Amino acid sequence: MAYQSEITHSGKQFIGGERVAEGERTLVSLRAVDGQPTGYRFYQATINDAELAVKAAEAAHLAYSQISSDKRAAFLEQIATEIDALGDEFIHLVMEETALPEARVLGERARTSGQMRLFAQLLRRGDYHAARIDTALPDRKPLPRPDLRQCKIAVGPVAVFGASNFPLAFSTAGGDTASALAAGCPVVVKAHGSHMGTAEFIAQAIEKAAKKQHMPVGVFNMIYGSKIGADLVQHPAIQAVGFTGSLQGGRALFDLATRRPQPIPVFAEMSSINPVIVMPQALVVRGDKIAQELVSSFTSSVGQLCTKPGVIIGIRSTAFSQFIAQLVHHVEQCSAQTMLNYGTLKSYQEGITALESHPEIKRIGGQMKSQTQADAQLFQADISLLINQDPLFQEEVFGPVSLVVEARDESELYRALQGLQGQLTVTLIGEKTEIAQADALSQLVMRKAGRLLINGYPTGVEVCDSMVHGGPYPATTDARGTSVGTLAIERFLRPVCLQNYPQELLPETLKDSNPMKLLRLVNGVYTRDPL
């Protein structure tokens, strides 16, 4: 089982720097357009494969977590370089497996390598250490204070579940993997079954980077198969989980993790309907423009974005009625599009059927014309469903569909918003004067979502220090984290306090001399000065 340094196809697991195959080669990569094989076949991971992968990550943890921030940064930058170097064969394979257009694939690749470089910048900047020092006060009365120093350390091996809708940016080398590696945590990735070939290319790029940067063997591992996720989450060496997918899948992993003898955190991004609240003056001034932009947003990428506007809410008026008619018009102009895979299309069709069968929801735009592609749809729902937290209304339908909700007045709008469950985003669209008077509305929706937008659209998530891609349940299982942006590293770190430690045993972050020149909180004052 020798290490393979070139980009090749073997279909084997990535375990401890080697390609391993114990199970059967029964997993087939399929083209998204017609469900036909791409020619790539993969071995189903066995329980023993999962065990070996986790053991390899566990063996790498101590050495990798002790590697300097600069060396980890260089590793992440090398990963970015290797991903950027993947050629046309890779691009065409991603397009085959996902039906994503070339421009989207190239853009997502740039985002994937870009977030690796962003975490490298964070590592060199050093603020993620959050160093705090309270020096000893031996003469303090009535009791002396010991020397106390706090920093953050890696939690341990992390299991990462690849996402279907972002084969690059939320999968093998996505934000969960990037932030875990940045934190000093080895990873075990479970490749998503809808783009296994893409995952294999990316995994080999990561392995090449690890070898070139002399990283510990086992810092990165990846296995294939749909039946192995529970074994990963329940393995005692796994210390955290990153997941992007359905509410059902994320909740199942969360429940498994909480039932372990040692419960661990699961950071799962799951379900969000991302309400857009359209205010009255805006409808009068630019209703058709808003309608056109909204339809473009919820049909973008065939509605397969976790920030897709799934609900459009407004207050009853002549302008709002005209706005609904404009939404219908723009939906009717949309063409059917190919979804990521047959399973996603089937789920979309089932979601549409559920909406059609609900007595208080009616289709007002679009039709289910194609059996092999997704047609854009627009439904109108009674506001009581939102007020009463109807479960059908709360869970997103993944695809190019949105629901319109009409409130009789502002009071009913507030009642509906109070019924909202947790969301990734909430958007307010309004004119300057009405936005300026929307403080109460802003405070209400701030309790419901991780990102609040004004006069924009939630599709498109900037990868930067300030971004929050998270929110209260069921948007995620832990509203304190984010899966996009540098704050994502916090999910895979834990604070540790060192009391009366000699200088020789202190990490560089906490030594008196401050060799890393970090901004540290020393006796209540932020400073870069040595003690």
Q: Which residues of 426-448 are buried (b: 16+ CB within 10 A; e: fewer)?
A: bbbbbbeeebeebeebeebbeeb
pLDDT in the model for residue 425: 98
Amino acid letter, 153: I
- Does 269 qualify as catalytic in the annotation? yes
Angle between helices 196-212 and 88-98 (to 10 degrees): 140
Task: Let me know: does 457 contact 427? Beta carbons within 8 Å.
Answer: yes
Task: Let me know: does 447 contact 473? Beta carbons within 8 Å.
Answer: no
DSSP class per residue in 303-361: G--TT---EEEEE-SHHHHHHHHHHHHHHHTPPPB--S-HHHHHHHHHHHHHHHH-TTE
pLDDT in the model for residue 61: 98
pLDDT in the model for residue 201: 97
Task: Let me know: does 40 contact 4? Beta carbons within 8 Å.
Answer: no
Task: Let me know: does 436 contact 444? Beta carbons within 8 Å.
Answer: no
Q: Which of 97, 108, 269, 406 is catalytic?
A: 269
Task: Let me know: does 422 contact 375? Beta carbons within 8 Å.
Answer: no
Nearest to 531 by CA among 18, 3, 221, 520: 520
Task: Let me know: does 183 contact 493? Beta carbons within 8 Å.
Answer: yes
pLDDT in the model for residue 392: 81
pLDDT in the model for residue 396: 84
Q: Which of 151, 185, 306, 334 is catalytic?
A: 306
Cite the beta strand spans of 184-295 per DSSP E. 187-190, 220-223, 240-244, 266-269, 275-278
Question: What does the DSSP 8-state code read for residue 491?
Answer: G
Reported CATH class of domain 13-270+483-490:
alpha beta
Give the CA-trace dihedral at 415, 419, 425, 431, to 10 degrees.
-10
Distance CA 476, CA 309 (A): 17
Fold held by 275-454: Aldehyde Dehydrogenase; Chain A, domain 2 (3.40.309)
- What is the pLDDT tens value at each position of the chain, 531 positions in all? 333 346 789 999 999 999 999 989 999 999 999 999 999 999 999 999 999 999 999 999 999 999 999 999 999 999 999 999 999 999 999 999 999 999 999 999 999 999 999 999 999 999 999 999 999 999 999 999 999 999 999 999 999 999 999 999 999 999 999 999 999 999 999 999 999 999 999 999 999 999 999 999 999 999 999 889 999 999 999 999 999 999 999 999 999 999 999 999 999 999 999 999 999 999 999 999 999 999 999 999 999 999 999 999 999 999 999 999 999 999 999 999 999 998 999 999 999 999 999 999 999 999 888 889 999 999 999 999 999 999 887 778 999 999 999 999 999 999 999 999 999 999 999 999 999 999 999 999 999 999 999 999 999 899 999 999 999 999 999 999 999 999 999 999 999 999 999 999 999 999 999 999 999 999 999 999 999
Distance CA 174, CA 176 (A): 6
Domain boundaries, the chain: 13-270+483-490, 275-454
